[in-house]
Structure 1
Amino acid sequence: MPITSSGPRIAILGFAIESNRFAPVATRADFVSRAYLKGAALMDDARSEAPAMTPEIPAFVRDMDRSGAWTPVPILFANAESGGPVEHAFFVDTLAVFEAGLRAALPLDAVYICEHGAAITTESDDPDGEVFALVRGIVGPDVPVVATVDLHANVSDRMVDNVNTLISYRRNPHIDMAERGADAARVLRELMAGGKVAVAHIRLPVCAPPTQLLTAPGTGPYADMIASAEALLDDPRIVNISGVAGFVYGDTPKNGLTVIVTTRDDPAFARQTALDLALPAWQGRAAFSPELTSLEEAVALARQAGENARLPAVCLADVADNPGGGGRGNTPYLLQALLAAGAQGVIMGVITDAALCAEAHGLGVGAAFTARFNREETTLYSDAFAAPAKVLKLHQGQGVGRRGQLQGCRFDLGPSVLLEMDGIKVVVVSNRYQCHEPMFFEMFGLDIAQARTVVVKSRGHFRAAFDEFFKPEQIHNVDVPGLTSPVLARFDFQRLPRPTVPMDTMQDWSPQVRVLSHPKL
């Protein structure tokens, strides 16, 4: 559909990355390799059959197209795989692109910001807040601004204060990204029609590891909070409720589970609703401590599954090396232990090692060689090791997701290889991705349903796509070292608010609710 030339002029922009304080610095190249879409290229991708960008903007565009005439004003969407602090100079350049694009586009009727919400840079703890404040400063106090953020955003006061409505995902794994983009479109339409809002904002002293923040029924107090929030959404006083879990590895002063209630100009109701949602989560805070499967037990489960076909297959999640949280996707601990134990019927993926992929592509299918992992990686936990391997298949690593978070989205793993290593089949890729899509195995012809053990380097998003193969009781979060370990005592946090659960024992907490009546912008 071509861009329309009538109706309200709405700018679209976003800077989306989840930053792990302990991971290597993210650079311009990390964004360019995933999605750096400027001007018309942004709209072309948003309206394509299989976008490279995350689903929020395409869904926003579809809903705006459906609901009436409008004129999109695409500025820039920059998105990267989760990594370390962003190189500050690149962030400053990005802000300059936002500013120039917005000023050139004035006057505007509204702005949609698509962020992740957990960015940091090498010099800033709150670049998302800087983006929101920049937008507000340019368009002024009367232009509606709506933002969507990830469920793992670290929400600052500055972020809340500079938008009319902040909308976060409500599903973990994140299978509702498109729905939240559509929500943003509907809220903007209401605000442009003259709607007024009141916002209540409360932050809890809870900085939980992501393994404890699933949203399936019965998985803990955070899931209960989301369910309670959704039960209130039919109330005509409610515009939006966002229970934002946060991302502990960001290590910022704004960390903490956050509740944001937006009402139709009813500040008292917003305040009470925020308290009603926050207090039960606080009372259930003991559940924010992780329960993990030891490496020894995980290896024993894999051996048993391989030796006894009558036992259920198992899925071992290397949650401590999740590229979706800043992990490098290359720690060797699980693979080494499974090889040493002689485990059979195992498929594992995806390990990130561009140099190994290049060597395998040069050798060709059928080649037997010594696979040297992490020969060029010096990051903490990216230990080098070598083992005999055979090249089974090669692939360029490009495809479209089949299920879960990546369903219908393009991905590019770069030159990739399927290796056989003493009965274990290992998928190695060039571009860092978490293994949250069955196609990462299936593009090599692997039948996941026939494997006795499946090992994924992913924290939780794989659950939405691999649920056709594994029930929750077949999945085990394995306790190994890594940049995304749920064992928070292993990290040298310097900026987190303290005390905070689960790292500190807390018995009392006095909630402080910020209330903004049609925010003073």
Structure 2
Amino acid sequence: MPQPCPVVAIAGLGIESSTFSPARTEAPAFHPLRGQDVLSRYPFLAPGEPLREAADWRGALVGKALPGGTVTAAAYAELSTELIDRLRDLGPLDGLWFDIHGAMTVEGLDDAEAELLTRIREAIGPDTLVSTSMDLHGNVSRPLVHHSDLITCYRMAPHEDAMETRERAARNLVDLLAGGAPRPVKAWVPVPVLLAGEQTSTRIEPARSVYAAVAEVAAADGVTDAAVWVGYAWADEPRNRAAVVVTGPDEAAVAAGAERLARGFWDARHDFAFVAPTGTLDDCLDEALAAGARRPYFISDTGDNPTAGGAGDVTWGLQHVLARPEFKDPAGPVVVYASLPGPSAVDAAVRAGVGAMVTVTAGAEVDDRHAGPLTMTGVVHSVRHGDRDAETEAVLRVGSVHVILTRLRKPYHLERDFTELELDPRAADVVIVKIGYLEPELFAMAADWKMALTPGGVDQDLVRLGHRRIQRPMFPFDPAMSDPDLTARIVAPANRPPAQFA
């Protein structure tokens, strides 16, 4: 008789939370999916796909929020309680795919994902196999590894392999359940390095080679999977640092692989550099406007990047742009600025209508530490309703600058984010985006680009942010530190008592 399919649940909460931002994240920001709607997040689990047929997939609750501020205790309690209740209601489980980011900070907690998985284990039992998938900018503590049987993360930054990683995590779990093999051995190595994602992009060296080695280790005999986490630089918690985990049936192989990857990351620490040239915002604008500059010239307004955890409403960068004399005349260089939240400003633009001249005030409702609310007078260029993140967007042309205003903050990563607002970024002289490294479509559009080192909750100057709770010594905070112990720690399986956590 054919064997019944294993019963596998899907659950997880994902967000990057900057503890250096005054913003707070509430439950609705996670846009949670429940029950079988969860499966719609994953193309490889669509009806008829081989992986869909390999297990009885049961959605519990999966919520993913834009990066932002610390999650409130009330939001975490609401979502985590519902998630665990739904898992209990699913009945006995053979497996759980735990789909998270890994950099969620919650009020009153230092290791939110490990705490959540500990509570999940209490509900589903220690014998259920758990496969955890993460962003490479997540944090991997020993408790998180202990409660996971398999654990992996992206191998590319920007994260062009995000869905591929999730599929690998799900497939490895199904394969483990189908094969009836013992629980994998897990080799974990914490690496005392904490760098920004913009310094560790796999587009360039040394991260390109560091991450190329991950696939080599994963392909070795006795290894199931391998992963290197950069860690999340804009939170101040004891768990924040780089880490390596290698899993598989052969203890010697996984330990050797983990130590190889950890040593490769550590040895490259002095070579990590920003993925693009950097400068002050004025330096970047001067270069963009210089004779012979290639257009469109993209500038990353990095300090308030909403996809790294910035509040999104810092006005410092836009104030500097609008103060430039080159942009006062509507016939001046065409500039697109994305973006600035301002609910009342958007409402005023909508009421006035396209073509109307309006005076509005926006920004600094959440993060006013660097500049106050900004008042602008301009012509309403376009209005768009119904965006999943922004809800409503309005473009205000102030001089020659097209300012995108949003009801709620939104990242601008795709060409259609602009064209749907009747903007043509390819024809602009300068495109300024609140972002770090350029996402693939922006990178492809940019004739040239530079990163402006601007203030905000995700300031790229990590040392001046003021970390106080990370484990020291830590590079680059302690540049002359001695070499750390990069010996692989073999972490106990979830159905055995853990060793002392570190």
TM-score for the superposition, normalised by structure 1: 0.87
Correspondence 1:61-140 to 2 at 5 A: 65-66=50-51, 68-140=53-125
2:451 matches 1:466: no
Aligned equivalents of 2:106, 2:170: Cα separation in 1: 29
Provide closer, same or farther for how the CA distance between residues 187 and 86 of structure 1 changes in structure 2, counting only shifts above 3 A: same
Aligned equivalents of 2:174, 2:51: Cα separation in 1: 12
Correspondence 1:41-440 to 2 at 5 A: 41-43=37-39, 45-46=40-41, 57-60=42-45, 65-66=50-51, 68-193=53-178, 194-196=180-182, 197-216=184-203, 219-263=204-248, 265-288=249-272, 290=274, 292-304=278-290, 308=291, 311-341=294-324, 342-343=326-327, 344-374=333-363, 376-377=365-366, 379-381=368-370, 383-398=372-387, 411-440=388-417
Aligned equivalents of 1:354, 1:204: Cα separation in 2: 43
Is contact 2:463–2:477 with CA below 8 Å preserved after alignment?
yes
How big is each residue's C-alpha offset from its partner over 1:95-136, in whole Å with a ceiling of 9 and x where there is no partner? 222222222222111111111111111100111001211222
Aligned equivalents of 2:92, 2:294: Cα separation in 1: 65
| Residue aligned with 1:324, SS | coil
| Residue aligned with 1:248, SS | coil
Opposite residue 280 of structure 2, the aligned amino acid is S
Unaligned runs of 5+ in 1: 1-5, 47-56, 399-410
How big is each residue's C-alpha offset from its partner over 1:109-167, in whole Å with a ceiling of 9 and x where there is no partner? 11111111111111001110012112223322322111111111011111100011111
| Superposition RMSD in Å | 2.2
How big is each residue's C-alpha offset from its partner over 1:276-316, in whole Å with a ceiling of 9 and x where there is no partner? 11112212211346562122211202322xxx467443110
Aligned equivalents of 2:79, 2:381: Cα separation in 1: 42
Which stretch of the first structure deviates more once superposed, 160-169 or 426-435? 426-435
| Residue aligned with 2:476, SS | coil
How big is each residue's C-alpha offset from its partner over 1:338-385, in whole Å with a ceiling of 9 and x where there is no partner? 322224121111222222111111111111122322264454335212
Provide closer, same or farther for how the CA distance between residues 89 and 456 of structure 1 changes in structure 2, counting only shifts above 3 A: same
Opposite residue 394 of structure 2, the aligned amino acid is V
| Residue aligned with 1:271, SS | helix
| 1:21 match | 19
Is contact 1:370–1:387 with CA below 8 Å preserved after alignment?
yes
Unaligned runs of 5+ in 2: 328-332, 497-502
Provide closer, same or farther for how the CA distance between residues 16 and 363 of structure 1 changes in structure 2, counting only shifts above 3 A: same
Provide closer, same or farther for how the CA distance between residues 277 and 412 of structure 1 changes in structure 2, counting only shifts above 3 A: same
| Residue aligned with 2:70, SS | coil
How big is each residue's C-alpha offset from its partner over 1:470-520, in whole Å with a ceiling of 9 and x where there is no partner? 25xx22110111111110122121211112111221242222421136565
| 1:485 match | 459
Provide closer, same or farther for how the CA distance between residues 310 and 482 of structure 1 changes in structure 2, counting only shifts above 3 A: closer
Deviation, 1:59, is 3.5
Provide closer, same or farther for how the CA distance between residues 211 and 310 of structure 1 changes in structure 2, counting only shifts above 3 A: closer
Instruction: Among all aligned residue pairs of Structure 1 and Structure 2, give the percentage whose two residues are the same amino acid.
Output: 26
Opposite residue 168 of structure 2, the aligned amino acid is D
Which stretch of the first structure deviates more once superposed, 382-391 or 477-486? 382-391
| 2:491 match | 516
Opposite residue 309 of structure 2, the aligned amino acid is G
| 2:28 match | 32
| Residue aligned with 1:96, SS | helix
Aligned equivalents of 2:220, 2:227: Cα separation in 1: 15
Aligned equivalents of 1:97, 1:24: Cα separation in 2: 27
The count of residues paired between Structure 1 and Structure 2 equals 482
Is contact 2:313–2:367 with CA below 8 Å preserved after alignment?
no
Aligned equivalents of 2:105, 2:48: Cα separation in 1: 31
Is contact 1:233–1:241 with CA below 8 Å preserved after alignment?
yes
| 1:475 match | 449
| Residue aligned with 1:455, SS | strand
Aligned equivalents of 2:307, 2:201: Cα separation in 1: 15
